[in-house]
Structure 1
Amino acid sequence: MRITVFGATGGVGQEIVGQARAAGHEVTVVVRDPDRLPEPLDRAAPHAVVRLDDPAAVRAAVAGRDAVLSGLGSRGRKANGVAERLTGRILTAMEAEGARRLLVVSAVPVGPEPVGDPLVDRLTRRAVGAVLAELYADLARMEAALARSATEWTAVRPPRLTDGPLTGVYRQVVGGTPRGSRSISRADVAHAMLALAVEPAAVRQGVGIAY
């Protein structure tokens, strides 16, 4: 596939680029700051590196791609509208170029609560939701913008992210949330996104993933 990856300096974005290149995909990278591109990815010489603040370059980066994958988001608890704002730039570029397939990282709390979730998981989710309310509100607004767009979007919703290894073994629920969603590695989030890029059932859907 010819894919474009936004947010390649982040944990999930790095994994997407690495796994995509290992699978033989042609990769274009869009980043906020090229100087923050990790050395292993810099040495790997992606097909192209584009700055997110260059609208013309971003449009060119999404034109004719089989899929656009975004790991963009807040780098801390204070979201400041980052996910909504930066995803809006992607949507503007894709709609201008007629690009269709878009996958983004969201979060489990933005999706529906799973039926029959254990009490401890419900209480933990509410406690975390209170602490990270601003971040989840930003992601919810991002998903609303996706729903209003003409793109064939998928919002991948993981729980707590870890730096664990790629396993390729996890649960996912299209349009819902796996029961007992507690954690998943960034590597497996990237794996899921690349797999879902060619999954018709995931189009215009949120997909909950977890171990």
Structure 2
Amino acid sequence: MDSILIFGATGGTGREAVIQALEGGFAVTAVVRNPAGFTLRHDALTIVKGDVLQLSSFEKEMVGKVAVVSCLGVGRDFKPTTVYSKGMENILTAMHQANVTRLICLSASALYTYKEMGFFIRLLAKQVVQRILKKPFADLRIMEKTVLASAVDWSIIRPPMLKDKPLTGKYRVAVGTHLAKPFSINRADLAHYMLRIVNDVRTFRSIIDIAY
């Protein structure tokens, strides 16, 4: 049974990733700051009290994993943060120490704008989303640069607006290029795709758009 390590498991996408990974036959280790608040239980689930900003709190859990899935987020906290950048530095350090080479991490489609978005979505991203999330996005950009400069087999997933709706299994992806008019994706489908590509070499060292 392949074993994966999931960060951000208490968030909407992270929780979906844990559930679907267990359903898909993975052994899962979830690193959470407050285990008492994480109610999922499964024979193949290990819950570890840890903080991504404190390497020593989780580095030993990296041993024996085939992949790391990072669903780190700051929720509705729009203040300056280092959760993405420093957290990813620590994750990559632990991966190097344990010789783990596969990383799948969440970013955001609105981090940058491009013509394929179309006028409305590009305007929304630039004039609304980027302004509201200016400080978290600044750290998220640093995180992306850190991942891009690393030696691991990374995939950076850039979803648009996230919705709490059921899994459909039907969505568009663009590996190394951009989707036209990416507006939304359900967290369940986002998690589905992240797990689907754990061993997909075609997605290694690629930035990926996903949307309906």
1:133 and 2:131 matched: no
The residue aligned with 1:67 is: 67
More divergent stretch after superposition (8-17 vs 49-58):
49-58
TM-score normalised by length of structure 1: 0.91
The residue aligned with 1:94 is: 95
Superposed counterparts of 1:39-188, under 5 Å: 39=39, 41=40, 43-53=41-51, 55-56=55-56, 58-76=58-76, 77-110=78-111, 113-115=114-116, 117-127=117-127, 128-188=129-189
How far did 1:112 drift? 5.9
How far did 1:110 drift? 3.0
How far did 1:85 drift? 1.7
| Structure 2: tracts of 5 or more residues without a match | none
Q: Residue 130 of structure 2: SS of its match in structure 1?
A: helix
CA contact (8 A) 1:114 1:178 kept: no
- How many residue pairs get aligned? The number is 207
Q: Distance in 2 between matches of 1:79 and 1:197?
A: 31
Q: Residue 141 of structure 1: SS of its match in structure 2?
A: helix
TM-score normalised by length of structure 2: 0.90
Q: Distance in 1 between matches of 2:27 and 2:3?
A: 5
Q: Distance in 2 between matches of 1:79 and 1:12?
A: 22
Q: Distance in 1 between matches of 2:113 and 2:200?
A: 21
More divergent stretch after superposition (78-87 vs 193-202):
78-87
How far did 1:56 drift? 4.6
CA contact (8 A) 1:112 1:177 kept: no
Q: Distance in 2 between matches of 1:88 and 1:149?
A: 10
CA contact (8 A) 2:55 2:91 kept: no
CA contact (8 A) 1:4 1:29 kept: yes
| Structure 1: tracts of 5 or more residues without a match | none
Root mean square deviation, CA, Å:
1.7
CA contact (8 A) 2:22 2:28 kept: yes
Q: Distance in 2 between matches of 1:46 and 1:158?
A: 28
Q: Distance in 2 between matches of 1:64 and 1:110?
A: 33
